[in-house]
């Protein structure tokens, strides 16, 4: 698997979402791994609680625009 320079990032109040696109093998399959990153050092429990309490949280928060990072 290889990572591309173009990545997805989307900021929200209290956290950011980072998406890393990958390609695998010669069949050109593509995947994206998403990381939910709380702004506060101790913010992960609150982010997990928010994620669990809202039924469409993931669908509404995934980034959909590529940005060049790095």
What dotted CATH number matches 2-68?
2.30.39.10
Q: Is the pTM of this model over 0.85?
A: no
Domain locations along the chain: 2-68
Q: Looking at 25-57, which runs of residues are DSSP E strands?
A: 29-38
In this predicted model, what pLDDT tens digit does every residue of 14-69 receive, in sequence order?
A: 999 888 887 777 777 778 888 999 999 999 999 999 888 887 777 777 766 555 55
Q: Please report, to the nearest 10 degrees, the dihedral formed by the alpha carbons of residues 57, 58, 59, 63 taken in order.
A: 120
Q: Are 34 and 62 in contact (CB under 8 A)?
A: yes
In 3-state terms, what secondary structure has residue 43? Answer: coil
């Amino acid at each position: 698997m290889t990572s591309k320079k173009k990545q997805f990032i989307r900021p929200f109040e209290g956290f950011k979402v980072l998406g890393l696109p990958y390609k695998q093998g010669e069949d050109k399959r593509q995947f994206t791994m998403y990381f939910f990153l709380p702004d506060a050092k101790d913010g992960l429990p609150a982010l997990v609680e928010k994620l669990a309490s809202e039924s469409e949280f993931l669908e509404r928060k995934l980034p959909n625009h590529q940005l060049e990072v790095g």
